[in-house]
Structure 1
Amino acid sequence: MSTLHVLSHSPFTDSRLGSCLRLCGAHDAVLLCGDATYALQTGSAPFQALQAKALDVFVLAEDAQARGLSLPDWAKSVDYPGFVQLSIDHDKVNTWL
Structure 2
Amino acid sequence: MSTLHVLSHSPFGDDRLSSCLRLIGVDDALLLSGDAAYALQPNTEPFNNLSARGLQLYVLAEDAQARAINVPAWAKAIDYPAFVELSIHHDKVNSWL
TM-score (norm 2): 0.98
Matched residue, 2:79 = 79
Report the Cα offset of residue 51 of structure 1. 1.1
Structure 2 Cα separation of the partners of residues 95 and 48 of structure 1: 22
Structure 2 Cα separation of the partners of residues 2 and 52 of structure 1: 21
Matched residue, 1:11 = 11
Structure 2 Cα separation of the partners of residues 96 and 25 of structure 1: 15
The correspondence of residues 32-71 of structure 1 with structure 2, limited to 5 A, is 32-71=32-71
How many residue pairs are counted as aligned between the two chains? Answer: 97
Report the Cα offset of residue 52 of structure 1. 1.4
Matched residue, 2:89 = 89
Give 3-state SS (helix, strand or coil) of 2:57's partner: strand
Report the Cα offset of residue 65 of structure 1. 0.4
Report the Cα offset of residue 81 of structure 1. 0.2
**1:12-55 deviations in whole A, cap 9, x for unaligned?**
00000000000001011000000000000011100011111211
* CA RMSD, 1 decimal: 0.5
Structure 1 Cα separation of the partners of residues 90 and 32 of structure 2: 16
Question: Is there any run of 5+ residues in structure 2 with no aligned partner, and where?
Answer: none
State the identity %: 67
Structure 2 Cα separation of the partners of residues 29 and 49 of structure 1: 15
TM-score (norm 1): 0.98
Structure 1 Cα separation of the partners of residues 6 and 19 of structure 2: 12
Question: Is there any run of 5+ residues in structure 1 with no aligned partner, and where?
Answer: none
Matched residue, 2:29 = 29
Query: Which of structure 1's runs of 4+ aligned residues deviate more than 2 A?
Result: none
Give 3-state SS (helix, strand or coil) of 1:36's partner: helix
